[in-house]
Amino acid sequence: MSTLIAEQLFSFCPRCGAHAFGWRYQRLFVCASCDFHYYVNAGAAGGVIIVDDRGRILLTRRSIDPSKGRLDLPGGFVEFGETAEDAIRREVREELNITLGDLDYLCSFPNRYAHKGVLYDTLDLIFVGRVHNLEGMRTMDEVEEIVFVAPTDVNFCELAFPSIRKALELYTARAAGNKPRAGASTS
């Protein structure tokens, strides 16, 4: 099955049915017959860098396509009416059976996500989160394995998506820069 990008999705107008529905420019379809306008927007998705009390990052190995078998951050698509934080908390419960503590916004990066023949444009909103209690954590929805890695040991080639790689590059660079220098006073 070929994968369609946004401008290839529709050719018939959903309002009048004319075979005159075309991609006008970025995000916008227009019907040449009835002037119906329809925007295809990037989907919002949330991901979270969960750090344990030793500073290690929690990564999940994907059990489904796209990028099955590769490492990812917990998270997923934001539902209508949800905040990114709500979506991340819901996804973390569904994927790992744990409850997230505070979330701090880190960054956003665009991504493309292939599903059942459509390539969806997304905007991935990445947060840093803490978990106070990992008891009961287990692999659930869409997760094959849970992996903890030190920021210095992240294998960027093994990550599922460019947006996740860029967010982890940013986080690990900051974590390295924020470390106290050897011998520096901590007072």
Residue 31 touches Zn ion, criterion: CB under 5 A: yes
For Zn ion, which is the closer residue by CB, 32 or 176? 32
13 belongs to the binding site for Zn ion (CB under 5 A): yes
Q: Is residue 28 involved in binding Zn ion (CB under 5 A)?
A: no
Cβ nearer to Zn ion, comparing 36 with 148: 36
Q: How far is the CB of 163 from Zn ion (least distance, A)?
A: 35
Q: Which of 10, 36, 77, 120 binds Zn ion (CB under 5 A)?
A: 36
The residue within the footprint of Zn ion, chosen from 27, 30, 33, 107 (CB under 5 A), is 33
H or E segment to which residue 45 belongs: strand 43-51
Token readout for 11 is 């050719």
CB of residue 39 to Zn ion, shortest distance in Å: 15
Three-state secondary structure string covering 67-108: CCCCEECCEEECCCCCCHHHHHHHHHHHHHCCCCCCEEEEEE
- Is there a contact between 56 and 154 (Cβ–Cβ < 8 Å)? no
* Residue 139 per-residue DSSP state: -
**Min separation Cβ 38 and Zn ion, Å:** 10
Q: Does 34 bind Zn ion (CB under 5 A)?
A: yes
Q: Tell me how far apart the alpha carbons of residues 10 and 153 are, in angstroms, rounded to a whole number.
A: 44
Cβ within 8 Å of residue 184, ≥6 positions away: none
Q: How far is the CB of 13 from Zn ion (least distance, A)?
A: 3
- What residues line the site for Zn ion (CB under 5 A)? 13, 15-16, 18, 31, 33-34, 36
